[in-house]
Structure 1
Amino acid sequence: MELDLDRINYKANQSKLGNLFLGFFEGLFLDGRVRLQEIEALIKWVEQYPEAVAVPHFESLYDVLLKAVEDPEFLLAQHQEVQAHLNIFKNSKYFKEHTSDVQRLHGVLAGLACDSDYTDDEVLGLNAWLERHDYLKADPIYKELLIALNHVRVLNRVSVDTKEVLRLTLSKYVQLNNFGLPQIAVSSSKESQNPDFYHGNVEILGKTICLTGASDRYTKAGWKEVIEEQGGIFKDDLTKTAHYLVICNKGNSSWAHMSYGRKFEQALKWQKDGANILILTEDDFLKFLEGK
């Protein structure tokens, strides 16, 4: 029996979007209140991901949202009703703990960052969320956040320095000045450099290279051809022995959870375990392919 991959991918992406929005709402309510700017961000998210409206068990939640569009004060007054709808989704068969919670975390970060302001209560709320979900400690982003909020746990207060470290951490995954939308497109410009990316010399001859995401420059077959022409070894699947993981500029619409996908997260994990995988952007990689 032939698998309907489009249908499987559609359902998987629906689930990701549902979990992302679940976390986004949680992020809005971290400090126990909602600002009008956060409501504007929520509306922007629905415009960006209209397919999320079709996620099972989210219909009633979007009914609440539509009322908030007409009257922003409505959402401020209906926190408990919204929370009840979130709980219904969390108790449904579409919600799978652990996998869903990682995706929720990315939504929580967006909900926190979407108004470009982090109150002490929001930071403390994020730290409490992390403590309640400590079984996610293997997730790279979770680990980064623990480090960023270390002083909060030690001193039980929020400093200016902690907020700045948190801002820099969030900027790797969230568009801070664009309603907290995910960082999808990948650039190697100084303004948007991810510190996890490698910016040094690249050796292609005899090296194993894996790509993730979509590219405007080449198809997958095209990348394979240009890499092998220069003596590199193209691999579709990432392994611990790979030398480079290239993050393609166009990104991938299914990267709804604000990192650069599972290959990126796996590479980070293997790096911390001692593997010599270097992660770089398509732009930086192409400089060496073209000899520039």
Structure 2
Amino acid sequence: MDLHQEFQNSRFFHQARIDRRSADELVGMAAGLIADGTVNQQEAEFLKGWIESNFIHFDDPVVNIIYRRLANMLSDGILQPEESIELVEMLHKFTGPTLATDKPFTAPSTLPFCDPAPALVIPDRCYLFTGTMAYGPRKSCEAAVTDRGGITSGTVTNRVHYVVVGSIGNNQWLHSSYGTKIMKAVEMRDAGIPISIISENHWQESLFG
């Protein structure tokens, strides 16, 4: 499932199609929640409930993806630390400084992807996912790898073979919270360590054709 156009094409940014007051409140609320750089369990539950109360039909892709990710993260009743980090990253992109532009969210085009993109091997290879994945929550991406005999990691180490960068990002990746992982991978690659930096699109195409 390829959702990487959902932010760009969202009706959320077209005043004629959605209640702008609720939309502006959602942006402000999200910005407030991530102001301290973290989102805790209570804050995540509050945001989920607020969306349920204020966006009854959930017919906007941006609101939908935020709500689905929240619901998935809270489905077991616990917001895990890694889920909190992923939620902060996603809300940062949602409330970013380019929000008022015609195309507020664009696929990262200045990322140091391997060129040409390498052929991917799944069994016995270690994958690290960073950024916001269009495929779904990070744990779903990891499951797609482990179900095929691969391995996943949450940190960039010598055992990681592929760093997969989520397609819902922006050109300010260098200053984002996931940029440190990418920079470390670049340093390792430049030092001769066999680690590849690839786009989510390349990963999806390799898995699903």
Give me the TM-score of the superposition, normalised by structure 2: 0.47
Structure of higher CA gyration radius? 1
**Structure number having the greater helix percentage:** 1
